[in-house]
Structure 1
Amino acid sequence: MKKNIALIFAFIGWFALIAQYYLHIENRISSLLEANFRFFTYFTILVNLLVTLYLTSVALKKQGAEDKNIGYLTAITVYITIVGVTYQIILRGTWQPTGLQRIVDELLHSVMPVLTIIFWYLFENKAKVKYSQILKWAIFPIVYLIVILVRGSFSGFYPYPFVDVTALGMTKVLINSLFVTIFFFITSFLYIRIGKALKK
């Protein structure tokens, strides 16, 4: 059952990512090279890619093979929860997509987060996930923030309005980033805590 569910969820993830890439390139306002760089500066894209690759690996894994990456599913579930919540609270009202873009938008920001949470609930080895892993999970979003800020200082492009240094200034962006970081640690703690409670 696990492999079948992973396959279905992975198919949805790949469809959303490929369709979003097509729309991004089709509607680009920059060179093709720059458009490709910008596509992979969106946290939404990177996290959905991580989730989809994980689901694909599960679907293709040999039956009964041991999962040596304990906590990885919880980590990507935390990441995509942040993607979903941030979009619903901060970004949803900033634009009104239509047609295929609306479908893809909902898949990436609403459907995939819910599917990932369901997969985590059903299949994560929750008892073995440790609180000490949270610091390791934080490396990815911290490195991501540094990269987009450094690149933005050269290109002038920032993927999200709350990290736009040009519009907000560095101080405001760092404050916004601090709030997201706090949310990350709280979310990570809650997933581990809830997971252990569910196992009991």
Structure 2
Amino acid sequence: MARAWRGLFGLVGLAALALQYVLMWITPQLDALQLTLNFFSYFTILTNVLIMSGMLLPAVLPNSAAGRVLASPRVRGGVTLYAAVVGLVYHFLLHATWDPQGWLLIANVLLHYVMPAAMVLDWLMFTPKGRLAPGHALAWLAFPLAYGAWTLAHGLTSGWWPYWFINVDALGLGRAAVNFGGLLVFFLGAGLLLVLIDGLIKPRQSGAAEGLDFSPPDRSPISKPDGS
């Protein structure tokens, strides 16, 4: 079941990424290098690359080094966190800022809703629980921190910013830094919540793995030794 699920959504994710990239070429305003650079400068795109890889490689190449790494609970926990943040931030901060139509709408729904939801469900259904600790929530901040550093460097040199809430040219460095700091706090809080859920689910999974019976005890009368 897990391999089929991951194989299916790995292909869906790959198709969604390819579709979005092709759509950017329909009305190109930049040269190929700059367009590609901007494409991979969206946190949504990078996260969907992680989701797609985390689905496909464990399904198709489970014994490869990459497949084993991407199947580990710590890595899948991080990717699940990023996926959830992509969906939430898009819905509450970005959804109202544009109105995609046609194929753009399809790509948008796949990248911001379908794939993040598939990753969260994958984590809930198939990822072993009870192996996360609060320190992992701190470690998971490395990706958004690196993304923030890249976005600042790229934006200052190109004048292009992927999201309005970190647009230094429009908001100023101080305001953009405050917005990004708020996002990091959100990442940390969501990561700690993920660790908490992981710990709460663990006892039930452990009981099932050990063959424990969680059904109500048998309350039928106990027969006496004489059989009466």
Tell me the TM-score normalized by structure 2. 0.84
Task: Quote the residue 1:74 is aligned against.
Answer: 77
Moved more, 13-22 or 68-77: 68-77
Alignment of structure 1 residues 27-46 onto 2, 5 Å:
27-46=27-46
Q: How does 1:19-98 map to 2 (within 5 A)?
A: 19-62=19-62, 67=68, 69-98=72-101
Instruction: Choose from 82, 101, 106 the match for 2:104.
Output: 101
In the alignment, the residues of structure 1 paired with residue 77 and residue 173 of structure 2 have an alpha-carbon distance, to the nearest angstrom, of: 31
Please give the alpha-carbon distance, in whole angstroms, between the structure 2 residues aligned to 1:43 and 1:192. Answer: 22
Amino acid at match of 1:72: V
Q: Indicate the RMSD between aligned Cα atoms, in angstroms.
A: 1.5
Q: Name the CA distance, whole Å, in 2 between partners of 1:25 and 1:197.
A: 46
Is 1:163 the equivalent of 2:166?
Answer: yes
* 8 Å Cα contact 1:70-1:128 kept in structure 2: yes
Offset at residue 102 of structure 1 (A): 0.1
* More contact order relative to length (CA 8 Å, sep ≥ 6): 1
Worse-superposed segment, 133-142 or 34-43: 133-142
Q: Trace 1:140-159 onto structure 2 (pairs within 5 A).
A: 140-159=143-162
Identity of aligned residues (%): 31
Give, in whole Å, the separation in 1 of the partners of 2:140 and 2:150.
17
Any idea what the Cα deviations from partners look like across 1:90-109, whole Å, max 9, x if unmatched? 10010000001001100000
Partner Cα distance (2:86, 2:14) in 1 = 17
* Residues in 2 aligned to 1:24 and 1:74: alpha-carbon distance in whole angstroms: 31
Q: Distance in 1 between matches of 2:172 and 2:26?
A: 31
Distance in 1 between residues matched to 2:133 and 2:68, nearest whole Å: 16
CA distance in 2, matches of 1:30, 1:62: 39
**Cα drift, residue 33 of structure 1:** 1.2
Q: Aligned residue for 1:173?
A: 176
| Paired amino acid for 2:173 | M
Q: Following TM superposition, by how much is the alpha carbon of 1:181 offset from its aligned partner in structure 2, in angstroms?
A: 0.5
Give the secondary-structure state (helix, strand or coil) at the position aligned to 1:38.
Answer: helix
Provide the rounded CA distance (Å) in 1 between the counterparts of 2:163 and 2:121: 27
Q: Secondary structure at the match of 2:41?
A: coil
Shift of 1:133: 1.6
The more displaced of 138-147 and 24-33 is: 24-33
Q: Which amino acid aligns with 1:121?
A: L
Is contact 2:6-2:55 (8 Å) kept? yes
1:13 and 2:16 correspond: no
How far has the Cα of 1:71 moved from its partner? 0.9
CA contact (8 A) 2:132 2:195 kept: yes
1:160 Cα deviation after fit: 0.5
Distance (Å, rounded) in 2 between the aligned partners of 1:144 and 1:96: 26
Paired residues, number: 199
Deviations 1:20-68 (A, max 9, x none): 01001222211111101100000000000011011111111348x9945
